[in-house]
């Protein structure tokens, strides 16, 4: 079960969080723009896309921005199993016209971070993102929030990220270390290219410790704690 694992806290001094600060800084350098809508997607399931998008959203919320995390993955039966409250309705109800956006958004899920969850829906899912309602929904969110983060299903499972990229500023691609075949990634990239999506960049996730230290050269984390103390 995908768990909404937000560990980016304001008072934490974990070296792992530096990775998300780097991601946040790079996102700022890429495009200095107000009221962004950013899509997070990946190639295959279990690459860690939800965790990356949630913690990236949290890292922006910590700076004082007004952020909303939207779960556009309606295909999963039980999304965000870590939530304490029971999800009665989600984004699919808004797109079907059954609910209004204000009734569905979870306010102050974290400080400065709202959450628009989703609920499992059978059949006709892709068509939800092809109507006018999704456009109105995203434009409304863009006006109200400083940052809108869309968590979408993997591209080999569904092309929702490509469809939604029409209304977004850019796509962040999450790649699990030693998880994706080259051919699959190429196929996913072509899907995004055909949709004329703007790819901001790639986040490589789940790098094992030895590789992270030896081959990627990130051995500073061993000295991070003592450095902070001094």
Partner 1 sequence: MKRKKREEDLRYEWEDEDDDEIELMDLVFILIRSWKLIVMSALPVIVLGAVFAMTRPDIYRAEATLMVSSGQIYSVNNLDNAEISKNQKLVSSYTEIAKSKSIMRNVIRKLDLDMEPEEIAKLLKVTPIDDTEFIKLSYTDKNAQRAALLTNEVAGEFILKIKKVMSFENLKIVEKASVPDKALPKKRALILAVSLVLGVMVGVFIAFMLEFLHSKLRKPEDIEKIMGCSVLANIPDFNIEKTGEK
Q: Token match 């993955």: residue?
A: 73
Backbone angles phi, psi at 148, to 5 degrees: -115, 120
Give the nearer residue to partner 1 in terms of CB position, either 100 or 181: 181
Q: Token match 């996730």: residue?
A: 205
Instruction: Please list, in sequence order, all residues whose beta carbon lies within 8 angstroms of the beta carbon of residue 199, skipping any fewer than 6 positions away.
Output: 170, 171, 173, 189, 192
**Least distance in Å: CB of 70 to partner 1?**
20
**Least distance in Å: CB of 83 to partner 1?**
19
Give the nearer residue to partner 1 in terms of CB position, either 133 or 218: 218
For residues 197 and 160, what is the distance between their CA atoms, to the nearest angstrom? Answer: 12
Q: Are 104 and 58 in contact (CB under 8 A)?
A: no
**Least distance in Å: CB of 94 to partner 1?**
30
Where on the chain is the footprint of partner 1 (CB under 8 A)?
Answer: 5, 7, 12-16, 19-20, 22-23, 26-27, 30, 48, 51-52, 172-173, 175, 177-183, 185-186, 189, 199-212, 214-216, 218, 221-222, 224-225
Give the nearer residue to partner 1 in terms of CB position, either 65 or 75: 65
**Least distance in Å: CB of 73 to partner 1?**
20
**Least distance in Å: CB of 216 to partner 1?**
6
Give the nearer residue to partner 1 in terms of CB position, either 95 or 172: 172
For residues 96 and 129, what is the distance between their CA atoms, to the nearest angstrom? Answer: 10
Q: Token match 């999450």: residue?
A: 174
């Amino acid at each position: 079960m995908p768990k909404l694992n937000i560990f980016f806290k304001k008072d934490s001094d974990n070296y792992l969080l530096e990775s998300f600060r780097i991601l946040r800084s790079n996102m700022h350098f890429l495009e200095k723009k107000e009221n962004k809508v950013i899509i997070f997607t990946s190639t295959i399931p279990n690459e860690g896309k939800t965790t990356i998008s949630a913690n990236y959203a949290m890292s922006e919320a910590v700076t004082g921005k007004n952020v909303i995390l939207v779960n556009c993955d309606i295909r999963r039966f039980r999304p965000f199993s870590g939530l304490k409250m029971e999800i009665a309705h989600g984004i699919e109800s808004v797109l079907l016209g059954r609910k209004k956006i204000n009734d569905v958004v979870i306010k102050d899920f974290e400080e400065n971070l709202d959450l628009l969850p989703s609920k499992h829906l059978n059949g006709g899912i892709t068509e939800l993102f092809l109507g006018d309602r999704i456009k109105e929904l995203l434009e409304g969110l863009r006006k109200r929030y400083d940052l809108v983060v869309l968590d979408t299903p993997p591209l080999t499972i569904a092309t929702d990220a490509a469809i939604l990229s029409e209304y977004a500023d850019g796509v962040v691609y999450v790649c699990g270390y030693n998880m994706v075949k080259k051919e699959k990634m190429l196929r996913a990239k072509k899907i995004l290219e055909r949709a004329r999506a703007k790819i901001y960049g790639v986040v490589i996730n789940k790098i094992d410790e030895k590789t992270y230290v030896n081959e990627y050269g990130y051995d500073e984390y061993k000295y991070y704690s003592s450095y902070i103390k001094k």
